[in-house]
Amino acid sequence: MSRLIAKSGKPHTIGEQLILPAIEEVLKTVLHKPAYDILKRIPLSNNTVQRRIDELSHDFESFLCNYLQTNHFSIQLNESTLPGNEALLLAYVRFVMDQEIHEELLFARTLTTNTKGESIFNALKDYLIEKVIPLSNIISAAADGAPAMFGRYRGFIAYLTDLFTKFNEVNLQL
């Protein structure tokens, strides 16, 4: 039920407000059974649904990171400033699985220092290192046209390109 509630995009309280009353009506009308004993065994409180959705998202993040550890992917980054001058970095990945293209949110992180290209690059690098995803699995990168992303010397793409240039030079020497 929690997965269905999460997919609906509705508030978690929909379980208590709509689903349980609907189940109760079906039990009374169709099965002619008292609903109370059955309904008390269906955990759909707001807290229970929230906890289960959090568990589902953690399981999905683990699955996604495990997949990205051994497969190539493209990454798309977007840095936004929220009210209160807080900077948020969103990273999406696009990859092929079972001969289909998939796009998923990899992470959303607050940038604690600034929104310069180096900070954005370090945030991505730190996440990938934490999740043991090789940077070499990135086959392309996309971003908006902001200078922090595409600045020639200090933009995110410049740092990423520099990393791959060094990586390729080391491989050529071996």
Better pLDDT: 143 or 53: 143
Better pLDDT: 152 or 120: 120
- Is the pLDDT score of 129 beyond 80? yes
List the alpha helices (DSSP H) in the chain.
Answer: 2-8, 14, 20-29, 36-39, 46-68, 117-130, 147-150, 156-173
- The whole-number pLDDT of residue 24 equals 76
What is the Cα–Cα distance from 163 to 155, expressed in whole angstroms? 13
What is the Cα–Cα distance from 6 to 8, expressed in whole angstroms? 5
The DSSP code for 83 is: T
What are the chain's domains?
2-63 (no CATH), 70-173 (3.30.420)
Q: For the segment 27-44, what is each residue's pLDDT rounded down to a tens digit?
A: 777 777 777 666 666 666
pTM comes to 0.62
Residue 171, beta-bridge partner list: none
- Is the pLDDT score of 113 beyond 60? yes
Q: For the segment 54-108, what is each residue's pLDDT rounded down to a tens digit?
A: 665 556 788 889 999 999 999 998 888 777 778 888 999 999 988 999 998 898 8
Q: Comparing C-alpha atoms, which of 65, 87, 62 is closest to residue 77?
A: 87
Residues 89/109, Cβ–Cβ less than 8 Å: yes
